[in-house]
Amino acid sequence: MLQGWIQIALTLLIVVAITPFFGRYMARVFQEQRTFLDPILNPIERLLYSLIGVSAREDMTGWQYARAILYSNIVMGLLIFFIIMSQGWLPLNPVRVGAPTWDTALHTTISFITNTNQQHYSGETYMSYATQMWGLGYHMFTSAATGLAVGIAFIRGLTGRPLGNFYVDLIRAITRVLLPISIVGALILIAAGVPETLAGPAVVPTLENPAISQAIARGPVAHFEIIKELGENGGGFFAINSAHPFENPNGLVNLIQIVAILSIPTSLIYTYGIFANNIKQAWLVYSIPLAILVVFVIITAIGEYNGNPAVNALLGSQQPNLEGKEVRFGWAQSALYAVITTATMCGAVNSLHDSFMPNGGFTTLSNMFFQIVFGGQGTGTAYLFAYLILAVFVTGLMVGRTPEFLGRKIEKREVVLASFLILMVHPIAILIPAGITLAFPDQLAGISNPGFHGFSQVLYEYASAAANNGSGFEGLGDSQPSPIAIATGAKTTVTALWWNLSTCFSLLAGRYIPIIGLLLLSDSMSRKQTVPFTTGTLRTDTGLFTGVTAGVILILGALTFFPVLALGPIGEAFFIAKGVSG
Protein backbone atom coordinates (compact mmCIF):
# COMPACT_ATOMS: atom_id res chain seq x y z
CA MET A 1 0.00 0.00 0.00
CA LEU A 2 2.71 2.49 1.01
CA GLN A 3 4.60 1.91 -2.23
CA GLY A 4 1.52 2.82 -4.27
CA TRP A 5 0.98 6.08 -2.41
CA ILE A 6 4.66 6.98 -2.76
CA GLN A 7 4.46 6.40 -6.52
CA ILE A 8 1.47 8.71 -6.76
CA ALA A 9 3.14 11.44 -4.68
CA LEU A 10 6.43 11.32 -6.60
CA THR A 11 4.66 11.49 -9.96
CA LEU A 12 2.73 14.62 -8.95
CA LEU A 13 5.88 16.22 -7.50
CA ILE A 14 7.68 15.72 -10.83
CA VAL A 15 4.85 17.48 -12.66
CA VAL A 16 4.85 20.43 -10.25
CA ALA A 17 8.65 20.69 -10.49
CA ILE A 18 8.70 21.04 -14.28
CA THR A 19 5.82 23.54 -14.38
CA PRO A 20 7.85 26.79 -14.06
CA PHE A 21 10.48 25.70 -16.60
CA PHE A 22 8.01 24.59 -19.26
CA GLY A 23 5.66 27.47 -18.50
CA ARG A 24 8.48 29.98 -18.91
CA TYR A 25 9.48 28.38 -22.21
CA MET A 26 5.95 28.59 -23.62
CA ALA A 27 5.74 32.22 -22.56
CA ARG A 28 8.90 32.96 -24.52
CA VAL A 29 7.55 31.10 -27.55
CA PHE A 30 4.24 32.95 -27.69
CA GLN A 31 5.71 36.32 -26.76
CA GLU A 32 8.04 35.74 -29.72
CA GLN A 33 11.13 36.06 -27.61
CA ARG A 34 14.38 34.32 -28.44
CA THR A 35 14.59 30.55 -27.83
CA PHE A 36 17.29 27.98 -28.54
CA LEU A 37 15.31 26.66 -31.54
CA ASP A 38 15.28 29.99 -33.40
CA PRO A 39 18.22 29.31 -35.77
CA ILE A 40 16.49 26.16 -37.05
CA LEU A 41 12.84 27.15 -36.97
CA ASN A 42 12.78 30.83 -37.93
CA PRO A 43 13.51 30.18 -41.65
CA ILE A 44 10.99 27.30 -41.71
CA GLU A 45 8.26 29.39 -40.11
CA ARG A 46 8.87 32.33 -42.45
CA LEU A 47 8.50 29.96 -45.39
CA LEU A 48 5.23 28.58 -43.99
CA TYR A 49 3.86 32.08 -43.43
CA SER A 50 4.65 33.05 -47.00
CA LEU A 51 3.10 29.87 -48.40
CA ILE A 52 -0.23 30.43 -46.63
CA GLY A 53 -0.14 34.20 -47.10
CA VAL A 54 -0.11 35.17 -43.43
CA SER A 55 1.63 38.14 -41.88
CA ALA A 56 3.15 37.27 -38.53
CA ARG A 57 2.37 40.79 -37.30
CA GLU A 58 -1.32 40.79 -38.28
CA ASP A 59 -3.54 40.55 -35.19
CA MET A 60 -7.08 39.17 -35.28
CA THR A 61 -10.26 40.09 -33.45
CA GLY A 62 -12.15 37.44 -31.53
CA TRP A 63 -14.49 36.71 -34.44
CA GLN A 64 -11.63 36.62 -36.95
CA TYR A 65 -9.70 34.19 -34.74
CA ALA A 66 -12.78 31.98 -34.36
CA ARG A 67 -13.51 32.01 -38.11
CA ALA A 68 -9.91 31.05 -38.87
CA ILE A 69 -10.27 28.06 -36.55
CA LEU A 70 -13.55 26.98 -38.13
CA TYR A 71 -12.34 27.35 -41.72
CA SER A 72 -9.09 25.48 -41.10
CA ASN A 73 -10.84 22.72 -39.18
CA ILE A 74 -13.36 22.19 -41.96
CA VAL A 75 -10.58 21.77 -44.50
CA MET A 76 -8.65 19.41 -42.22
CA GLY A 77 -11.83 17.46 -41.50
CA LEU A 78 -12.45 16.87 -45.20
CA LEU A 79 -8.86 15.64 -45.54
CA ILE A 80 -9.11 13.07 -42.74
CA PHE A 81 -12.52 11.83 -43.93
CA PHE A 82 -11.10 11.28 -47.41
CA ILE A 83 -8.12 9.35 -46.02
CA ILE A 84 -10.32 7.10 -43.88
CA MET A 85 -12.77 6.30 -46.67
CA SER A 86 -9.91 5.75 -49.16
CA GLN A 87 -7.63 3.65 -46.96
CA GLY A 88 -8.50 0.48 -48.85
CA TRP A 89 -6.48 1.57 -51.88
CA LEU A 90 -3.92 3.80 -50.16
CA PRO A 91 -0.42 2.45 -49.37
CA LEU A 92 0.81 1.41 -45.90
CA ASN A 93 -2.04 -1.05 -45.45
CA PRO A 94 -0.34 -4.41 -44.83
CA VAL A 95 -3.51 -6.30 -43.83
CA ARG A 96 -5.61 -4.62 -46.54
CA VAL A 97 -8.36 -3.24 -44.32
CA GLY A 98 -11.17 -1.52 -46.16
CA ALA A 99 -13.13 1.58 -45.29
CA PRO A 100 -15.36 1.54 -42.20
CA THR A 101 -19.02 2.56 -42.38
CA TRP A 102 -19.64 6.18 -43.31
CA ASP A 103 -20.98 7.03 -39.86
CA THR A 104 -17.90 5.58 -38.13
CA ALA A 105 -15.69 7.56 -40.53
CA LEU A 106 -17.69 10.73 -39.84
CA HIS A 107 -17.54 10.23 -36.07
CA THR A 108 -13.81 9.51 -36.21
CA THR A 109 -13.21 12.62 -38.31
CA ILE A 110 -15.10 14.92 -35.98
CA SER A 111 -13.62 13.22 -32.93
CA PHE A 112 -10.04 13.81 -34.04
CA ILE A 113 -10.40 17.37 -35.32
CA THR A 114 -11.98 18.32 -31.98
CA ASN A 115 -9.03 16.89 -29.99
CA THR A 116 -11.36 14.27 -28.49
CA ASN A 117 -10.22 11.03 -30.12
CA GLN A 118 -13.30 9.15 -28.99
CA GLN A 119 -12.98 5.83 -30.79
CA HIS A 120 -15.88 3.66 -31.88
CA TYR A 121 -13.54 1.21 -33.60
CA SER A 122 -10.48 -0.95 -32.90
CA GLY A 123 -7.39 0.72 -34.32
CA GLU A 124 -5.51 -2.45 -35.23
CA THR A 125 -8.61 -3.94 -36.91
CA TYR A 126 -10.20 -1.09 -38.84
CA MET A 127 -7.48 1.49 -39.52
CA SER A 128 -4.46 1.18 -41.81
CA TYR A 129 -1.02 2.55 -41.03
CA ALA A 130 -1.65 5.34 -43.53
CA THR A 131 -4.83 6.38 -41.76
CA GLN A 132 -3.17 6.20 -38.34
CA MET A 133 -0.17 8.26 -39.48
CA TRP A 134 -1.43 10.66 -42.16
CA GLY A 135 -4.96 11.16 -40.89
CA LEU A 136 -5.24 10.55 -37.17
CA GLY A 137 -1.63 11.35 -36.24
CA TYR A 138 -1.65 14.58 -38.27
CA HIS A 139 -4.79 15.76 -36.51
CA MET A 140 -3.30 14.92 -33.13
CA PHE A 141 -0.85 17.75 -33.80
CA THR A 142 -3.24 20.23 -35.38
CA SER A 143 -6.13 19.78 -32.94
CA ALA A 144 -3.81 20.03 -29.93
CA ALA A 145 -2.13 23.10 -31.43
CA THR A 146 -5.55 24.66 -32.03
CA GLY A 147 -6.49 24.25 -28.37
CA LEU A 148 -3.13 25.61 -27.24
CA ALA A 149 -3.54 28.59 -29.58
CA VAL A 150 -6.96 29.34 -28.09
CA GLY A 151 -5.52 29.19 -24.58
CA ILE A 152 -2.74 31.61 -25.52
CA ALA A 153 -5.16 33.97 -27.28
CA PHE A 154 -7.38 33.95 -24.20
CA ILE A 155 -4.43 34.75 -21.93
CA ARG A 156 -3.40 37.61 -24.21
CA GLY A 157 -6.88 39.12 -24.17
CA LEU A 158 -7.26 38.65 -20.43
CA THR A 159 -4.01 40.54 -19.83
CA GLY A 160 -4.94 43.41 -22.14
CA ARG A 161 -3.03 42.36 -25.26
CA PRO A 162 -4.32 41.80 -28.80
CA LEU A 163 -5.39 38.19 -29.32
CA GLY A 164 -2.73 37.53 -31.96
CA ASN A 165 -2.98 35.58 -35.21
CA PHE A 166 -4.41 32.05 -35.17
CA TYR A 167 -2.26 30.74 -38.02
CA VAL A 168 0.92 32.05 -36.41
CA ASP A 169 -0.04 30.59 -33.04
CA LEU A 170 -0.95 27.26 -34.67
CA ILE A 171 2.38 26.98 -36.46
CA ARG A 172 4.42 28.02 -33.43
CA ALA A 173 2.51 25.62 -31.18
CA ILE A 174 3.46 22.76 -33.51
CA THR A 175 7.01 23.74 -34.42
CA ARG A 176 8.13 25.11 -31.05
CA VAL A 177 6.23 22.97 -28.54
CA LEU A 178 4.56 19.81 -29.80
CA LEU A 179 6.93 18.62 -32.53
CA PRO A 180 10.32 19.00 -30.76
CA ILE A 181 9.08 17.28 -27.60
CA SER A 182 7.40 14.55 -29.64
CA ILE A 183 10.60 13.77 -31.54
CA VAL A 184 12.62 13.43 -28.34
CA GLY A 185 9.79 11.61 -26.58
CA ALA A 186 9.33 9.11 -29.40
CA LEU A 187 13.02 8.23 -29.33
CA ILE A 188 12.83 7.66 -25.58
CA LEU A 189 9.74 5.47 -25.98
CA ILE A 190 11.47 3.38 -28.66
CA ALA A 191 14.42 2.88 -26.32
CA ALA A 192 12.00 1.90 -23.56
CA GLY A 193 10.36 -0.82 -25.63
CA VAL A 194 7.56 0.80 -27.65
CA PRO A 195 7.60 -0.48 -31.28
CA GLU A 196 7.99 1.75 -34.33
CA THR A 197 7.73 -0.25 -37.54
CA LEU A 198 5.91 -0.29 -40.87
CA ALA A 199 6.03 -4.09 -41.02
CA GLY A 200 2.78 -6.01 -40.93
CA PRO A 201 1.58 -8.15 -38.02
CA ALA A 202 4.07 -10.66 -36.63
CA VAL A 203 2.92 -14.25 -37.19
CA VAL A 204 4.18 -16.55 -34.42
CA PRO A 205 3.26 -20.00 -33.07
CA THR A 206 1.12 -20.15 -29.95
CA LEU A 207 2.51 -21.41 -26.65
CA GLU A 208 -0.26 -23.99 -26.29
CA ASN A 209 0.24 -25.54 -29.72
CA PRO A 210 3.26 -24.61 -31.89
CA ALA A 211 1.41 -25.95 -34.93
CA ILE A 212 -1.14 -23.12 -34.60
CA SER A 213 -0.08 -19.59 -35.50
CA GLN A 214 -1.34 -16.24 -34.30
CA ALA A 215 -0.96 -12.72 -35.73
CA ILE A 216 0.29 -10.04 -33.35
CA ALA A 217 -0.60 -6.52 -34.44
CA ARG A 218 2.15 -3.91 -34.39
CA GLY A 219 3.01 -0.74 -36.26
CA PRO A 220 4.44 2.78 -36.00
CA VAL A 221 3.36 3.15 -32.39
CA ALA A 222 6.06 5.19 -30.60
CA HIS A 223 5.65 8.48 -32.50
CA PHE A 224 1.85 8.08 -32.32
CA GLU A 225 1.97 7.45 -28.58
CA ILE A 226 3.91 10.53 -27.53
CA ILE A 227 1.71 13.07 -29.31
CA LYS A 228 -1.31 11.14 -28.08
CA GLU A 229 -0.31 12.03 -24.53
CA LEU A 230 1.46 15.37 -24.99
CA GLY A 231 -1.38 16.81 -27.06
CA GLU A 232 -4.06 15.41 -24.74
CA ASN A 233 -5.45 13.46 -27.65
CA GLY A 234 -5.87 10.05 -26.04
CA GLY A 235 -6.70 7.97 -29.11
CA GLY A 236 -5.06 4.56 -28.99
CA PHE A 237 -3.18 2.88 -31.79
CA PHE A 238 -4.65 -0.35 -30.40
CA ALA A 239 -8.16 -0.97 -29.07
CA ILE A 240 -7.12 -1.19 -25.42
CA ASN A 241 -5.09 2.00 -25.62
CA SER A 242 -2.33 2.45 -23.03
CA ALA A 243 -3.21 -0.84 -21.36
CA HIS A 244 -1.63 -2.55 -24.40
CA PRO A 245 1.95 -3.68 -23.72
CA PHE A 246 3.09 -2.19 -27.04
CA GLU A 247 1.72 1.26 -26.12
CA ASN A 248 2.67 1.16 -22.45
CA PRO A 249 5.08 -1.69 -21.72
CA ASN A 250 6.44 -0.78 -18.29
CA GLY A 251 6.45 1.63 -15.36
CA LEU A 252 8.92 4.03 -16.97
CA VAL A 253 6.75 4.50 -20.06
CA ASN A 254 3.70 4.88 -17.83
CA LEU A 255 5.46 7.67 -15.90
CA ILE A 256 6.51 9.41 -19.13
CA GLN A 257 2.93 9.29 -20.36
CA ILE A 258 1.49 10.78 -17.18
CA VAL A 259 4.06 13.60 -17.13
CA ALA A 260 3.43 14.28 -20.83
CA ILE A 261 -0.33 14.42 -20.29
CA LEU A 262 -0.04 16.97 -17.47
CA SER A 263 2.89 19.04 -18.75
CA ILE A 264 1.16 21.55 -21.03
CA PRO A 265 -2.11 22.22 -19.11
CA THR A 266 -0.26 22.68 -15.81
CA SER A 267 2.50 24.82 -17.25
CA LEU A 268 0.10 27.04 -19.18
CA ILE A 269 -1.15 28.49 -15.88
CA TYR A 270 2.42 29.55 -15.12
CA THR A 271 2.62 30.99 -18.63
CA TYR A 272 -0.38 33.14 -17.70
CA GLY A 273 1.53 34.37 -14.65
CA ILE A 274 4.33 35.62 -16.88
CA PHE A 275 1.91 37.33 -19.28
CA ALA A 276 0.13 38.96 -16.34
CA ASN A 277 3.40 39.72 -14.53
CA ASN A 278 1.92 38.08 -11.44
CA ILE A 279 3.54 34.73 -10.67
CA LYS A 280 1.97 34.71 -7.21
CA GLN A 281 -1.52 34.70 -8.67
CA ALA A 282 -0.54 31.98 -11.13
CA TRP A 283 0.53 29.66 -8.30
CA LEU A 284 -2.65 30.46 -6.35
CA VAL A 285 -4.79 29.64 -9.38
CA TYR A 286 -2.65 26.55 -9.97
CA SER A 287 -3.46 25.35 -6.46
CA ILE A 288 -7.19 25.08 -7.23
CA PRO A 289 -7.07 22.32 -9.87
CA LEU A 290 -4.11 20.70 -8.12
CA ALA A 291 -6.04 20.41 -4.85
CA ILE A 292 -9.10 18.97 -6.61
CA LEU A 293 -6.86 16.55 -8.52
CA VAL A 294 -5.19 15.32 -5.33
CA VAL A 295 -8.54 14.83 -3.58
CA PHE A 296 -9.95 12.93 -6.56
CA VAL A 297 -6.85 10.72 -6.77
CA ILE A 298 -7.18 9.88 -3.08
CA ILE A 299 -10.90 9.09 -3.42
CA THR A 300 -10.29 6.86 -6.44
CA ALA A 301 -7.22 5.13 -5.03
CA ILE A 302 -8.98 4.32 -1.74
CA GLY A 303 -11.84 2.72 -3.63
CA GLU A 304 -9.52 0.59 -5.77
CA TYR A 305 -7.26 -0.37 -2.86
CA ASN A 306 -10.18 -1.45 -0.65
CA GLY A 307 -11.66 -3.43 -3.51
CA ASN A 308 -15.19 -4.67 -4.04
CA PRO A 309 -16.88 -5.48 -0.70
CA ALA A 310 -18.94 -8.25 -2.26
CA VAL A 311 -15.86 -9.93 -3.71
CA ASN A 312 -13.90 -9.46 -0.48
CA ALA A 313 -16.73 -11.09 1.46
CA LEU A 314 -16.48 -14.16 -0.75
CA LEU A 315 -12.68 -14.25 -0.45
CA GLY A 316 -12.71 -13.70 3.29
CA SER A 317 -10.03 -10.99 3.00
CA GLN A 318 -9.54 -7.50 1.63
CA GLN A 319 -8.04 -7.41 -1.85
CA PRO A 320 -7.56 -4.48 -4.28
CA ASN A 321 -9.96 -4.25 -7.18
CA LEU A 322 -7.81 -5.51 -10.08
CA GLU A 323 -10.63 -6.23 -12.49
CA GLY A 324 -9.90 -4.49 -15.79
CA LYS A 325 -6.39 -3.51 -14.73
CA GLU A 326 -2.91 -4.43 -15.86
CA VAL A 327 -0.97 -6.15 -13.06
CA ARG A 328 2.16 -4.23 -14.06
CA PHE A 329 0.44 -1.00 -12.99
CA GLY A 330 -1.74 -2.24 -10.13
CA TRP A 331 -4.36 -0.27 -8.21
CA ALA A 332 -2.23 2.85 -7.58
CA GLN A 333 -1.01 3.69 -11.08
CA SER A 334 -4.36 2.69 -12.58
CA ALA A 335 -6.23 5.05 -10.23
CA LEU A 336 -3.74 7.89 -10.82
CA TYR A 337 -3.87 7.48 -14.60
CA ALA A 338 -7.68 7.38 -14.66
CA VAL A 339 -8.03 10.62 -12.71
CA ILE A 340 -5.32 12.44 -14.66
CA THR A 341 -6.57 11.40 -18.08
CA THR A 342 -10.09 12.61 -17.34
CA ALA A 343 -8.90 15.71 -15.48
CA THR A 344 -6.85 16.89 -18.45
CA MET A 345 -9.32 15.76 -21.14
CA CYS A 346 -6.69 13.46 -22.59
CA GLY A 347 -8.78 10.29 -22.57
CA ALA A 348 -5.95 7.76 -22.82
CA VAL A 349 -6.49 4.79 -20.48
CA ASN A 350 -4.22 2.19 -18.94
CA SER A 351 -7.14 0.33 -17.36
CA LEU A 352 -10.85 -0.18 -17.99
CA HIS A 353 -12.80 2.64 -16.36
CA ASP A 354 -15.96 0.57 -16.54
CA SER A 355 -14.42 -1.81 -13.95
CA PHE A 356 -13.60 0.87 -11.38
CA MET A 357 -15.45 1.07 -8.09
CA PRO A 358 -18.11 3.83 -7.85
CA ASN A 359 -15.43 6.12 -6.37
CA GLY A 360 -13.63 6.07 -9.70
CA GLY A 361 -16.82 6.59 -11.67
CA PHE A 362 -17.65 9.61 -9.52
CA THR A 363 -14.25 11.27 -9.90
CA THR A 364 -13.78 10.60 -13.62
CA LEU A 365 -17.26 11.92 -14.42
CA SER A 366 -16.75 14.93 -12.13
CA ASN A 367 -13.49 15.76 -13.89
CA MET A 368 -15.28 15.92 -17.23
CA PHE A 369 -18.13 17.95 -15.76
CA PHE A 370 -15.77 20.56 -14.24
CA GLN A 371 -13.33 20.70 -17.20
CA ILE A 372 -10.89 22.81 -15.16
CA VAL A 373 -8.89 20.25 -13.18
CA PHE A 374 -6.14 21.46 -15.52
CA GLY A 375 -8.58 20.66 -18.31
CA GLY A 376 -8.21 20.42 -22.06
CA GLN A 377 -5.26 21.57 -24.12
CA GLY A 378 -5.37 25.36 -23.76
CA THR A 379 -9.14 25.49 -23.29
CA GLY A 380 -8.93 24.12 -19.74
CA THR A 381 -6.89 27.13 -18.62
CA ALA A 382 -9.35 29.44 -20.34
CA TYR A 383 -12.28 27.74 -18.59
CA LEU A 384 -10.50 28.13 -15.26
CA PHE A 385 -10.24 31.88 -15.74
CA ALA A 386 -13.85 32.06 -16.89
CA TYR A 387 -14.72 30.64 -13.46
CA LEU A 388 -12.39 33.24 -11.98
CA ILE A 389 -14.33 36.01 -13.71
CA LEU A 390 -17.58 34.68 -12.24
CA ALA A 391 -15.93 34.48 -8.82
CA VAL A 392 -14.85 38.12 -9.13
CA PHE A 393 -18.41 39.13 -9.98
CA VAL A 394 -19.99 37.10 -7.15
CA THR A 395 -17.42 38.27 -4.60
CA GLY A 396 -17.82 41.88 -5.68
CA LEU A 397 -21.56 41.62 -5.10
CA MET A 398 -21.04 40.12 -1.63
CA VAL A 399 -18.53 42.68 -0.36
CA GLY A 400 -19.86 45.70 -2.22
CA ARG A 401 -16.81 46.29 -4.40
CA THR A 402 -16.57 46.90 -8.13
CA PRO A 403 -15.80 43.58 -9.82
CA GLU A 404 -12.44 44.01 -11.53
CA PHE A 405 -9.84 41.58 -12.83
CA LEU A 406 -6.31 42.70 -13.71
CA GLY A 407 -7.49 46.31 -13.58
CA ARG A 408 -10.40 45.75 -15.99
CA LYS A 409 -14.03 45.95 -14.95
CA ILE A 410 -16.16 42.83 -15.17
CA GLU A 411 -19.46 43.92 -16.70
CA LYS A 412 -22.65 42.36 -18.05
CA ARG A 413 -21.13 41.08 -21.30
CA GLU A 414 -18.34 39.18 -19.54
CA VAL A 415 -20.67 37.69 -16.93
CA VAL A 416 -23.17 36.57 -19.58
CA LEU A 417 -20.49 34.96 -21.72
CA ALA A 418 -18.84 33.18 -18.78
CA SER A 419 -22.20 31.98 -17.44
CA PHE A 420 -23.29 30.76 -20.87
CA LEU A 421 -20.09 28.76 -21.31
CA ILE A 422 -20.13 27.17 -17.87
CA LEU A 423 -23.83 26.75 -17.08
CA MET A 424 -25.48 26.10 -20.45
CA VAL A 425 -23.28 24.71 -23.24
CA HIS A 426 -21.76 21.78 -21.39
CA PRO A 427 -24.96 20.57 -19.68
CA ILE A 428 -26.94 20.79 -22.92
CA ALA A 429 -24.30 18.84 -24.86
CA ILE A 430 -24.39 16.06 -22.25
CA LEU A 431 -27.83 15.84 -20.67
CA ILE A 432 -30.12 16.22 -23.70
CA PRO A 433 -28.62 13.39 -25.85
CA ALA A 434 -28.17 11.24 -22.72
CA GLY A 435 -31.84 11.72 -21.83
CA ILE A 436 -32.97 10.75 -25.34
CA THR A 437 -30.76 7.65 -25.32
CA LEU A 438 -31.94 6.52 -21.90
CA ALA A 439 -35.55 6.92 -23.02
CA PHE A 440 -34.94 4.14 -25.57
CA PRO A 441 -32.52 1.75 -23.82
CA ASP A 442 -33.24 -1.24 -26.03
CA GLN A 443 -33.42 0.54 -29.37
CA LEU A 444 -30.57 3.03 -29.00
CA ALA A 445 -28.33 2.58 -25.96
CA GLY A 446 -27.08 -1.00 -26.17
CA ILE A 447 -26.30 -0.90 -22.43
CA SER A 448 -24.49 -3.98 -21.10
CA ASN A 449 -25.22 -3.25 -17.43
CA PRO A 450 -28.59 -2.54 -15.78
CA GLY A 451 -29.37 -0.01 -13.07
CA PHE A 452 -27.03 2.67 -11.83
CA HIS A 453 -23.98 1.44 -13.71
CA GLY A 454 -25.84 1.33 -17.02
CA PHE A 455 -26.93 4.93 -16.42
CA SER A 456 -23.28 5.86 -15.80
CA GLN A 457 -22.21 4.19 -19.04
CA VAL A 458 -24.52 6.38 -21.11
CA LEU A 459 -23.77 9.53 -19.13
CA TYR A 460 -20.02 8.91 -19.38
CA GLU A 461 -20.10 8.56 -23.17
CA TYR A 462 -21.73 11.93 -23.70
CA ALA A 463 -19.67 13.63 -20.98
CA SER A 464 -16.54 12.27 -22.66
CA ALA A 465 -17.67 13.61 -26.04
CA ALA A 466 -18.78 17.04 -24.80
CA ALA A 467 -15.64 17.52 -22.71
CA ASN A 468 -13.46 16.45 -25.68
CA ASN A 469 -11.99 13.70 -23.49
CA GLY A 470 -12.58 10.54 -25.53
CA SER A 471 -12.31 7.85 -22.86
CA GLY A 472 -15.25 5.52 -22.28
CA PHE A 473 -16.91 3.32 -19.71
CA GLU A 474 -17.37 0.92 -22.62
CA GLY A 475 -19.99 -1.81 -22.56
CA LEU A 476 -22.13 0.12 -25.06
CA GLY A 477 -23.14 -0.92 -28.57
CA ASP A 478 -21.12 1.89 -30.13
CA SER A 479 -18.40 -0.06 -31.93
CA GLN A 480 -17.94 -0.34 -35.68
CA PRO A 481 -20.22 -3.28 -36.60
CA SER A 482 -18.76 -6.37 -38.22
CA PRO A 483 -19.28 -7.01 -41.95
CA ILE A 484 -21.74 -9.78 -41.07
CA ALA A 485 -23.78 -7.45 -38.87
CA ILE A 486 -23.85 -4.84 -41.64
CA ALA A 487 -24.90 -7.41 -44.26
CA THR A 488 -27.74 -8.79 -42.12
CA GLY A 489 -28.92 -5.42 -40.86
CA ALA A 490 -28.42 -6.47 -37.25
CA LYS A 491 -29.60 -4.32 -34.37
CA THR A 492 -25.97 -3.54 -33.50
CA THR A 493 -25.70 -1.58 -36.75
CA VAL A 494 -28.58 0.72 -35.77
CA THR A 495 -27.18 1.18 -32.26
CA ALA A 496 -23.72 2.04 -33.57
CA LEU A 497 -25.27 4.52 -36.03
CA TRP A 498 -27.08 6.28 -33.18
CA TRP A 499 -24.00 6.51 -31.01
CA ASN A 500 -21.87 7.80 -33.88
CA LEU A 501 -24.32 10.53 -34.90
CA SER A 502 -25.54 11.58 -31.45
CA THR A 503 -22.05 11.91 -30.01
CA CYS A 504 -21.08 14.00 -33.05
CA PHE A 505 -23.50 16.61 -31.72
CA SER A 506 -21.79 16.58 -28.33
CA LEU A 507 -18.33 16.63 -29.91
CA LEU A 508 -19.07 19.68 -32.03
CA ALA A 509 -21.07 21.58 -29.41
CA GLY A 510 -18.51 20.86 -26.71
CA ARG A 511 -15.62 22.09 -28.84
CA TYR A 512 -16.56 24.99 -31.04
CA ILE A 513 -19.24 26.85 -29.10
CA PRO A 514 -16.94 27.21 -26.05
CA ILE A 515 -14.00 28.21 -28.26
CA ILE A 516 -16.04 30.99 -29.86
CA GLY A 517 -17.34 32.11 -26.47
CA LEU A 518 -13.89 32.13 -24.88
CA LEU A 519 -12.43 34.14 -27.74
CA LEU A 520 -15.25 36.69 -27.55
CA LEU A 521 -14.79 36.91 -23.79
CA SER A 522 -11.05 37.51 -24.08
CA ASP A 523 -11.58 39.98 -26.93
CA SER A 524 -13.98 41.92 -24.74
CA MET A 525 -11.45 41.99 -21.89
CA SER A 526 -8.65 43.11 -24.19
CA ARG A 527 -10.61 46.19 -25.28
CA LYS A 528 -11.28 47.49 -21.78
CA GLN A 529 -9.42 50.44 -20.36
CA THR A 530 -7.52 49.70 -17.18
CA VAL A 531 -8.64 51.44 -14.01
CA PRO A 532 -6.21 52.46 -11.28
CA PHE A 533 -5.76 50.18 -8.28
CA THR A 534 -7.30 51.63 -5.11
CA THR A 535 -8.09 50.50 -1.59
CA GLY A 536 -11.55 49.58 -2.84
CA THR A 537 -10.24 47.23 -5.50
CA LEU A 538 -10.90 43.54 -4.90
CA ARG A 539 -7.56 41.74 -4.88
CA THR A 540 -7.57 38.49 -6.81
CA ASP A 541 -4.09 37.30 -5.86
CA THR A 542 -4.88 36.31 -2.28
CA GLY A 543 -5.50 33.00 -0.61
CA LEU A 544 -8.98 34.12 0.46
CA PHE A 545 -10.09 34.93 -3.08
CA THR A 546 -8.57 31.67 -4.32
CA GLY A 547 -10.68 29.79 -1.78
CA VAL A 548 -13.79 31.67 -2.90
CA THR A 549 -13.05 30.74 -6.52
CA ALA A 550 -12.69 27.07 -5.56
CA GLY A 551 -16.03 27.31 -3.77
CA VAL A 552 -17.71 28.85 -6.82
CA ILE A 553 -16.34 26.06 -9.00
CA LEU A 554 -17.56 23.31 -6.67
CA ILE A 555 -20.97 24.90 -6.07
CA LEU A 556 -21.70 25.51 -9.76
CA GLY A 557 -20.52 22.02 -10.65
CA ALA A 558 -22.63 20.45 -7.90
CA LEU A 559 -25.74 22.42 -8.79
CA THR A 560 -25.48 21.42 -12.43
CA PHE A 561 -24.45 17.78 -12.34
CA PHE A 562 -24.99 16.39 -8.82
CA PRO A 563 -28.46 14.98 -9.69
CA VAL A 564 -27.06 12.79 -12.47
CA LEU A 565 -24.10 11.76 -10.32
CA ALA A 566 -26.64 10.66 -7.69
CA LEU A 567 -28.39 8.52 -10.30
CA GLY A 568 -25.08 7.01 -11.41
CA PRO A 569 -21.95 6.35 -9.32
CA ILE A 570 -23.36 7.66 -6.00
CA GLY A 571 -26.42 5.47 -6.31
CA GLU A 572 -24.23 2.54 -7.30
CA ALA A 573 -22.06 3.04 -4.19
CA PHE A 574 -25.10 2.90 -1.90
CA PHE A 575 -26.38 -0.14 -3.78
CA ILE A 576 -23.09 -2.01 -3.26
CA ALA A 577 -22.99 -1.04 0.42
CA LYS A 578 -26.56 -2.22 0.90
CA GLY A 579 -25.84 -5.50 -0.82
CA VAL A 580 -22.92 -6.22 1.54
CA SER A 581 -24.81 -5.31 4.68
CA GLY A 582 -27.82 -7.32 3.55
The answer to the question of residue 278 being in a domain is yes
The answer to the question of residue 13 being in a domain is no
Give pLDDT, residue 491: 52
Give pLDDT, residue 207: 83
The answer to the question of residue 224 being in a domain is yes
The answer to the question of residue 324 being in a domain is yes
The answer to the question of residue 11 being in a domain is no
Nearest-5° Cα angle at 454, 513 to 429: 10
Quick one: DSSP state of residue 203? E
pLDDT, averaged per 10 consecutive residues of the chain (582 residues), comes to 88 96 96 91 90 83 95 95 94 91 94 95 92 94 96 95 95 96 96 94 87 90 96 93 95 96 96 95 95 96 92 86 91 95 95 94 95 91 91 82 82 90 91 90 72 91 94 81 56 79 95 95 90 73 89 86 93 82 39
Q: Check the CA dihedral 339-345-351-357 and report its sign.
A: positive
Task: From 449, 445, 259, 250, select the one nearest 341 (Cα to Cα).
Answer: 259
The answer to the question of residue 349 being in a domain is yes
Question: Would you tell me how many other CB atoms lie within 10 Å of the CB of residue 86?
Answer: 14
Q: CA-CA distance, 457 to 355, in Å (whole number)? A: 11
For 307, phi then psi, to 5°, come to 80, -175
Give pLDDT, residue 581: 40
Question: Would you tell me how many other CB atoms lie within 10 Å of the CB of residue 582?
Answer: 4
Q: Which domain holds residue 111?
A: 26-202+216-581
* Number of domains forming the structure of the chain: 1
Give pLDDT, residue 209: 84
Q: Is there a contact between 151 and 379 (Cβ–Cβ < 8 Å)?
A: yes
> Taking the CA atoms of the chain, what radius of gyration do you get in angstroms?
23
Q: Is there a contact between 569 and 576 (Cβ–Cβ < 8 Å)?
A: no
Instruction: Indicate the pTM of the whole model.
Output: 0.93
Give pLDDT, residue 229: 96
Q: Is there a contact between 282 and 272 (Cβ–Cβ < 8 Å)?
A: yes
Give pLDDT, residue 582: 38
The answer to the question of residue 8 being in a domain is no
The answer to the question of residue 17 being in a domain is no
